[in-house]
Homo-oligomer: A and B are copies of this chain.
Amino acid sequence: VTRRLKHWGWGYEDEQPSVADLRALAALISERLGFAVGEPEEPVPLSEVAVPTPRLRPPDGLSEICSTDTYERCLHAYGRGYRDIVRAFHGRFDHVPDVVARPRTEPEVEAVLQWAVAAGAAVIPFGGGTSVVGGVEPRVGEQYAGAVTIDLKALDQVLEIDRTSLAARIQAGATGPGLEAQLADHGLTLRHFPQSFQFSTLGGWIATRAGGHFATLYTHIDDLVESVRALTPSGPWESRRLPGSGAGVSPDRMLLGSEGILGVITEAWVRVRPRPTRRASAAVLFDDFLAGASAVRALSQTGLHPSNCRLIDPVETQFTGTGDGRHAVLVLGFESADQDVEPAMSAALDVCTEHGGRFERRRGAAAGDGGSDVVGSWREAFLQAPYLRDSLIALGVLSETFETATTWDRFEAFHASVSERVSAAIDDVCGTGRLSCRFTHVYPDGPAPYFTILAPSRRGEELGQWDRIKRAASDAVIDGGGTITHHHAVGRDHRPWYDRQRPEQFARALAGAKAAVDPRGALNPGVLVDAVRGG
């Protein structure tokens, strides 16, 4: 029997925690977050979900790979943001695709795309379905004949490996574990580990400019992409494999972050590397978050380039078990497949010490792997977070994250203002709750802060509550000079703030680009720009 993914949340159907587990979690929340939560609720079973009759019927030639089954339509109705899961948990499916296609080959992708566009449908490219910004929800307006979601996950192969150049050609539907397993057979790794790693796909990472493992230098998938192939309604778009180029505007950079509005990404050449064999890690304590931030700023401006440089504020250390709640913790790591990483770690720790950091290094049998317990527990918590959120939702806890980036000169005021405005909104909307912050990535000119909200929701009012808090957070980010997203993408949820952020003439240019290759405005309407429908 094949395991089925939950139609409403993260992971597989058989992974739902027991009522006893949930009650234990409720006790932990009371203890660590200081607010009481209710009895666990059960998700509405799929059998009780009613969806509208499909408005489209796939042609006979495509029926084998197309489905109008309720499970498939519900599974592809939403991403995995808080409001997605809340709605699905409660059996509410606002916009289900009419047809879900699971092509197995690129010609099948092309056939589905051409049929759907000709039928006047909206087309939603779908990878892992892990969007937290409404990127895959067919909320497309009434002017389409229906919505066809193209799930790429059957295109999951590493097709070619170039050991000399350290590059691999990989199909867009390959998930993190799927492509890593295939690369591991060759002693190679992509080392792109977003939080959604377990389910998200290479194509999705490229379409959304996903942020990954490396805290510095190779922060986004952008930096690992050598060339991309996509299908637009007007034909294929495939760039040359090049290590670098200055031939006009980069074709790859126009697909990176295109969020499905220009084409369906089918494969890419990406830069891979030997698996790291040398690692050093450490946990450095600071009196508070801003003290840690000043150390991280100094570190970011050395050329030491730590692979991990995640500064966690005291509130967040407490909940994730990475600290005692009284200090900020910097999780610092270096890794290499060929070079000694100790000199860089030493130099980095010197910088931390100069900025008031305190640490204890243990050097054990695994040379230079000091501090691995903290790193290990951090990583474990990191990858478990999406599962945890499902449980929190079952317990009625509002659980939301938002992330951004801003320059160092503005950071302190930015952090203060975002914290104050969002905390006020949490208190106002939920009565109480917790806001915490960490850095996920850092640059010489600024950090990428990532905020987590945990607060008691009122049953039945979760969406309205989320909406008010999300608006306060997004307003604060944009008013403070940040980006509406450093690596979660824009989707439909961030559109109002994205529209305030991006240059107006750029938006016109992007809409012009879209109209040129997608004249009927079929691809992922509502995302990034308003489609100009012609054709």
Residues of A within 8 A of B (CB): 162, 164-167, 208-211, 217, 219-220, 226, 232, 234-251, 253-254, 256-259, 262-263, 271, 273, 297, 301-305, 336-340, 343, 347, 405-409, 441, 443-448, 481-490, 494, 498, 501-506, 508-517, 528
Contacts and interface: CB of A to CB of B under 8 A. Distances in A.
B302 A247 contact: no
A471 to B, nearest CB: 17
Contacts of A443: 243-244
Contacts of A486: 244-246
B508 A271 contact: no
B409 A237 contact: no
Contact of A517 (B238, B259, B347, B512): B512
Contact of A242 (B257, B347, B407): B407
A226 B410 CA distance: 14
B445 A226 contact: yes
Nearest to A229: B503
A501 B240 contact: yes
A438 B407 CA distance: 38
A159 to B, nearest CB: 15
Given A232-B505, A251-B506, A301 B244 contact: no
A137 B481 CA distance: 39
Contacts of A511: 516
Closest 9 CB pairs of A and B: A512-B516, A243-B446, A243-B443, A509-B513, A209-B246, A237-B505, A253-B253, A512-B512, A251-B506
A247 B448 contact: no
Contact of A254 (B337, B339, B447, B506): B506
B257 A488 contact: no
Contacts of A409: 162, 164-165
Nearest to A412: B164
A243 B509 contact: no
A258 B249 contact: yes
Contacts of A488: 246
22 contacts: A162-B409, A162-B445, A166-B301, A208-B246, A237-B504, A237-B509, A239-B503, A243-B445, A243-B446, A244-B443, A246-B486, A247-B490, A247-B498, A248-B490, A248-B498, A249-B254, A250-B257, A251-B502, A273-B444, A508-B516, A509-B514, A512-B513
A130 to B, nearest CB: 14
Contacts of A241: 407, 481
Nearest to A231: B505
B505 A234 contact: yes
Contacts of A504: 235, 237
A446 B407 contact: no
Contacts of A253: 249-250, 253-254
A475 B512 CA distance: 32
A502 B235 contact: no
Given A243-B407, A448-B244, A513-B512, A254 B254 contact: yes
